[in-house]
């Protein structure tokens, strides 16, 4: 049954990839196209998201140039490395890079995300990625391209190994006793001893357990295979839904599938991807979208909630969808980061705060605190 409980605090994330979600965003006046690979630009964008008390920011990544028309932004910085740079230059907001499991090793993935979590004092997340194209396989030359079910199955096993490696140090494994010369309690380091279909990993990690214990795992569920992965493994599930009724059904399906997998559905956060063009009036928002579409030469087909209107209109949509049990929150994808992110933070957020739907301060210091997720027990310490 859909959750029709009274309105609750909504979770809001924002995608900071490229110049914005619309392919032509980098071509508009004020887009700062010359700064697309300037880390300081991302520091400024994260500061804006943090000013709005947003839960998290996401950074996409892949192993090939982006497909698309001639006018599409083709290159990207490494998302995990960017998040590491952003970590000590931010506070409060979660940092969630995409790190792909195909053509990579879980040991390296676990270290990368754990490092971001340490450097940020507990604000890292991991958006699980996988690759299926011949071009991506050719970039490594180690194996042929995989179909999606196979790549997602590999991602499933990779998540298992990564999370085991995060637990391979207990929270208090480090002693750092100068007098005795003992840095670590060896009894609190554990071999993961994973023998799977694709990976054999003994461990332990060389990086201490992340401050969050387990940084939240984010999965985009937009196919049967990825949906099953999300139900089994994700803390945050991203879905695409064009209507409120569709979102209600998807959220219920995710929760039911998680329960069938033996998980607590209340420990999941389901976020709907929302593409936004925000203007002072509905007409001005539509005019901005028309300009972007003229530059690109095709209409913007997002296959999910697309808002073209005022900040108040968007706040109303957020309230209506949340109260109907359609989502625990939204992953906002601004059409143009240089314009729409400020509109969200300065326009939408205050309206949601005034309605009692959004926080007025971060509830703690970690991303798990912000998402309302408890600090997980260490699986090895629990059986020791």
Tens digit of each residue's pLDDT (9 = 90 or more) over 128-169: 999 999 999 999 999 999 999 999 999 999 999 999 999 999
CB distance 94 to 367 below 8 Å: yes
Confidence band (pLDDT; 50, 70, 90) for 297?
A: confident
- In whole angstroms, give the CA distance from residue 12 to residue 374: 19
Does pLDDT of 91 surpass 50?
yes
What's the token pair of residue 301? Answer: 């087909």
Residues 6+ positions from 239 with CB-CB distance below 8 Å: 220, 221, 222, 247, 250, 251, 254, 270, 271, 272, 273
Confidence band (pLDDT; 50, 70, 90) for 2?
A: very low
Tens digits of per-residue pLDDT, 93-139? 999 999 999 999 999 999 999 999 999 999 999 999 999 999 999 99
Among 48-57, 130-139, 304-313, 349-358, which stretch is predicted with the lowest mean pLDDT?
A: 130-139
| Model pLDDT, residue 30 | 80
Query: Which whole number is the average pLDDT over 255-278?
Result: 97
Helix (H, G, I), strand (E, B) or coil at 218: strand
Among 13-17, 36-40, 74-78, 364-368, which stretch is predicted with the lowest mean pLDDT?
A: 74-78
Query: Which whole number is the average pLDDT over 244-257?
Result: 97
| Model pLDDT, residue 363 | 96
Does pLDDT of 382 surpass 70?
no
| Model pLDDT, residue 383 | 67
- pTM of the model as a whole: 0.94
- 3-state DSSP percent of the chain in helix, strand and coil, to 5: 40, 15, 40
| Model pLDDT, residue 181 | 79
Residues 6+ positions from 229 with CB-CB distance below 8 Å: 128, 152, 155, 156, 159, 219, 221
- In whole angstroms, give the CA distance from residue 184 to residue 177: 9
């Amino acid at each position: 049954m859909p959750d029709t409980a009274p309105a609750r605090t909504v979770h809001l994330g924002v995608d900071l990839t490229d110049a914005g979600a619309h392919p032509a965003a980098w071509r508009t006046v004020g887009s700062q196209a010359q700064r697309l690979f300037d880390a300081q630009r991302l520091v400024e964008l994260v500061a804006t998201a943090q000013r709005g008390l947003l839960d998290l920011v996401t950074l996409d990544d892949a192993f090939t140039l982006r497909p698309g028309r001639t006018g599409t932004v083709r290159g990207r910085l490494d998302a995990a490395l960017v998040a590491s740079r952003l970590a000590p230059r931010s506070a409060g907001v979660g940092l969630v890079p995409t790190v792909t499991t195909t053509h990579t090793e879980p040991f390296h993935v676990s270290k990368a995300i754990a490092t971001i979590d340490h450097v940020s004092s507990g604000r890292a997340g991991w958006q699980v990625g996988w690759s299926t194209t011949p071009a991506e396989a050719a970039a490594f030359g180690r194996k042929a391209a995989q179909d999606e079910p196979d790549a997602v199955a590999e991602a499933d096993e990779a998540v298992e190994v990564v999370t085991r490696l995060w637990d391979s140090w207990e929270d208090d494994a480090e002693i750092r006793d100068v007098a005795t010369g003992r840095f670590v309690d060896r009894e609190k380091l554990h071999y993961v001893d994973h023998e799977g279909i694709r990976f054999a990993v003994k461990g332990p990690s060389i990086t201490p357990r992340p401050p969050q214990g387990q940084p939240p795992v984010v999965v985009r569920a937009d196919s049967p295979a990825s949906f099953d992965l999300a139900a089994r493994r994700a803390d945050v599930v991203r879905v695409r839904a064009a209507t409120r009724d569709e979102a209600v059904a998807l959220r219920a399906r995710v929760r039911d599938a998680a329960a069938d997998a033996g998980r607590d559905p209340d420990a999941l956060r389901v976020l709907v991807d929302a593409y936004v063009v925000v203007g002072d009036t509905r007409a001005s928002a539509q005019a901005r979208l028309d300009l972007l579409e003229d530059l690109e030469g095709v209409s913007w087909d997002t296959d999910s909630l697309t808002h073209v209107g005022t900040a108040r209109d968007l706040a109303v949509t957020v309230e209506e969808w949340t109260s109907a049990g359609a989502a625990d929150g939204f992953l906002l994808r601004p059409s143009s980061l240089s314009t729409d992110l400020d509109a969200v933070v300065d326009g939408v957020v205050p309206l949601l705060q005034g309605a009692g739907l959004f926080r007025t301060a971060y509830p703690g210091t970690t991303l798990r605190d912000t998402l309302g997720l408890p600090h997980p027990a260490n699986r090895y310490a629990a059986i020791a």
